[in-house]
Amino acid sequence: MPARNIVFFITDQWRWDTLNQLGHPCKLPNLKAFGGESTNHVNAFTCVPLCTPARGSLFTGKWPHQTGTMDNVQGSSFYPHGKLHPSHRTYMERMQDAGYNVSFIGKWHLGDGTLHERGIDAPLSDGGDDPLMPPADMEFANPRKTPFYGTITRGIHMDEKRVLKGIERLESLSASDQPFCLIVSLPGPHFPHHVPGEWVHLYDDIPDDYMPDNFIPQFTEEGKPAAQGAPYWPCQDTRNLDQQDWRRTAQHYWGFCSFIDDLFGRFRRRMSELGLDDTTRLAFTADHGEMLGAHGWFDKGPFFYEEVMRIPMLIRDAGQVDARTSDGFVNFRDLFPTLLSDSGAEEILTAEERARSYNVTNADHAVYCYDAYQGRQFKFRGIRETRYKYAWSPHDLEEFYDLEMDPQERVNRAGDPALAAEKGRLKSRLFDWMNAESDALAYGGYQLPVGSYIDGRPAHEQHDHKQHLNPALKQ
């Protein structure tokens, strides 16, 4: 049935396999119950495995190269400092123009205070008056190895505060006759994996000899692009992690997911109690995934591995009571057109946006991009079909994977003559998309060396991220 209201629960760095891999150890009873009344888009992919550009695409419907938000913004995470330019209007602003009451809670990551500048209510959000990473009033047990893991023994996690604020907003919004859009955006389970002890202890039974799937000592794989040969943020260097560190990291990551699952359950139950089930469309997803030891990496990086590209995507239509599965390829940037289609705000969509709705598209592939990280240049474009995945770069190696024969993406077969025809076909298809989207990389030209800074500094020079922080936060 048509949706009067839109509610969107977004997490950060949530792995697809936790909800979709049969027998996965992650305990998610509330999300799995939600899956029983929603549509699971099992082939959902992010447009870029990096917070700011992914979110810029989500909220505007444009690709990163079309908005200029191609790197993380905010404080220490970007060189130089930046934000989503106000000329690029968000779906939330367009919904307000259509008469919707819009509230955004939590992680924005597109410029401090800029949601308020756009006229959007933004409690407990860096888009409003709160920092993205507020000082933590919590105590921890030992051993603790931040940012990989830390067990909270005292204090209230900020994500819990954000969800409680979301429930409060849900109550006030539902009491009005005005249609509404509520976005609850959590930084978790993005690192630091600081998790309340009760959720960490859910995974005390992880085998003592546990190691991550697809693990290989970092920087030892052959035939990979140069971009994968070095860490670009301190936490990305995992060479000092031993087997027990990886075990504890997985334990805390899955515990973080279970903690958020419980918060989502509280939110979902309150939504039902308020009588919103028949008038409201609800979505759960993430901006990208997490490596969690795959290929030796923690966090993410300038690559298109399944662990960071594939995302959970559950959407419950207003009045839906049954589980459905869709295996069509869908993209993170097209989520708002999907939520807005067949709703009271559908008129704000262009014809092109309506055609991108998950309910209309019949895509058999996903495309994605990468441009920069922490001020460094990494130019990559990629395309993935059911069996094959191809990544192209103007200043680095190509990658080509046969996902049927090599699901862990260990062997780069870009130079394999037996797959030359398939590689050429995907490259042609990728460049057709780049040309259609006016991507400057399609037209050639000089590119800075891999990993070098946009101001010309060489790749080997390490940027001091703290120099841009508020002095009070440098400690």
pTM of model > 0.75: yes
pLDDT at 342: 87
Q: Order the strands of the 313-316 sheet from edge to edge.
A: 101-106, 180-189, 5-12, 280-286, 313-316, 39-41, 324-326
321 three-class SS: coil
Instruction: Provide the H-helix boundaries in 175-214.
Output: 197-200
Q: pLDDT digit string (tens) for 443-464?
A: 998 999 999 988 888 888 876 6
Q: Which two tokens stand for residue 48?
A: 């870029």
* Whole-number Å distance between alpha carbons of 187 and 40: 22
* Whole-number Å distance between alpha carbons of 83 and 212: 35
β-bridge pairing 194-196 and 150-154: parallel
* Whole-number Å distance between alpha carbons of 195 and 248: 12
Where do the DSSP E strands lie in 305-417?
A: 313-316, 324-326, 330-331, 366-373, 376-384, 388-392, 399-402
pLDDT at 1: 67
Query: Which CA distances in Å does 53 have to 47, 200, 246?
Result: 8, 31, 29
| Of 368, 389, 371, 378, residue with least CA distance to 433 | 368
* Whole-number Å distance between alpha carbons of 260 and 342: 29
* Whole-number Å distance between alpha carbons of 259 and 202: 10
Which residues of the chain register pLDDT less than 70?
1, 74-81, 463-475
Query: Which CA distances in Å does 375 have to 47, 165, 193, 244, 464?
Result: 19, 34, 25, 33, 11
pLDDT at 468: 45
Query: Which CA distances in Å does 42 have to 146, 213, 227, 280?
Result: 32, 20, 29, 22
pLDDT at 67: 94
- Round the CA-based radius of gyration of the chain to a whole number and report it: 21
Place of tokens 């069509």: 328
Instruction: Provide the H-helix boundaries in 209-340.
Output: 243-273, 306-309, 335-340
* Whole-number Å distance between alpha carbons of 299 and 314: 23
pLDDT at 464: 64
Contacts of 96 (CB under 8 A, 6+ apart): 102, 119, 120
- With respect to CATH, is domain 5-365 assigned 3.40.720.10? yes
Give the helix, strand, coil percentages of the chain, each rounded to 5. Answer: 30, 20, 50
* Whole-number Å distance between alpha carbons of 40 and 312: 8
Q: Which two tokens stand for residue 330?
A: 């869908």
Instruction: Provide the H-helix boundaries in 297-355.
Output: 306-309, 335-340, 351-354
Q: Name the amino acid, one letter, at 237.
A: D
* Whole-number Å distance between alpha carbons of 78 and 458: 17
Could you give the angle at the alpha carbon of 118 between the alpha carbons of 117 and 123, nearest 5°? 75
Per the DSSP assignment, residues forming a β-bridge with 195 are 151
| Of 179, 315, 296, 183, residue with least CA distance to 237 | 296
Q: Which two tokens stand for residue 406?
A: 């090599």
pLDDT at 475: 33
* Whole-number Å distance between alpha carbons of 87 and 66: 11
| Of 322, 300, 324, 323, residue with least CA distance to 311 | 300
| Of 244, 238, 232, residue with least CA distance to 216 | 238
Contacts of 459 (CB under 8 A, 6+ apart): 230, 376, 449, 450, 451, 452, 453
